[in-house]
Amino acid sequence: MLLTSSAAPGQIWQTVLHELRRGALDSKHPFRFLTLATAGTNFPQVRTVVLRELSSSVEFLVYTDFRSAKVQDLLKIPRVSLLFYHPKKQVQVRVKALATLHVADELAQEHWKRVSEKRQSEYKNELVPGTRIEKPELGWEIQADNAHFSVLKFSPISIEVLQLGKKGHLRILFELTSGWQGNWLVP
């Protein structure tokens, strides 16, 4: 369990931040992979992405090819939902956030340097992600110098935590007003 009913909202906030930061740092932590939901064109779109960083100002950073469908969705409607789940601790974290795209700016360049050479090739594909191809090998063709790397920054406006438990569930909502304020909710 991550939350207890005797913990103060401030303590819970620090615990949740600690676990989210671990997700960005530890490739084996369940919060490393999160679900990203965008509005999409005709239907909501949901996909799994990798948490690369949780900034000190509580902004979630994810890498992507700037030609991807998720980027196109976000350029039209920059509101997203993020979902984290920790199966061992039976806790779910839902985030409502606003997305910002960073391409070839200082933030993107700083993070590009962190991407291994092997992984950099994943952002140099000639074909746009989602393009139909005749055989899988065509999806690995790369351009030597032209990277399509970008950083998505998600700035949360609310973070809701649901702790599942045999003796009863706990639910708390943190909203960004003048700082992060937590209020218990009926599970």
For the segment 12-25, what is each residue's pLDDT rounded down to a tens digit? 999 999 999 999 99
* Dist CA 173 CA 103 (whole Å): 32
> What does the H/E/C string look like for 129-180?
CCCCCCCHHHHHCECCCCCCEEEEEEEEEEEEEEECCCCCCEEEEEEEECEE
Question: Where do the domains of the chain lie?
Answer: 9-185
Structure tokens at 147: 């990277």
Closest CA to 128 of 54, 69, 47, 187: 69
For the segment 16-74, what is each residue's pLDDT rounded down to a tens digit? 999 999 999 999 999 999 999 999 889 999 999 999 999 999 999 999 999 999 999 99
For the segment 124-175, what is each residue's pLDDT rounded down to a tens digit? 988 889 999 999 888 887 675 678 999 999 999 999 999 999 999 999 999 9
For the segment 98-137, what is each residue's pLDDT rounded down to a tens digit? 999 999 999 999 999 999 988 998 899 888 899 999 998 8
CATH code linked to domain 9-185? 2.30.110.10
Provide the 8-state DSSP code for 23.
Answer: H
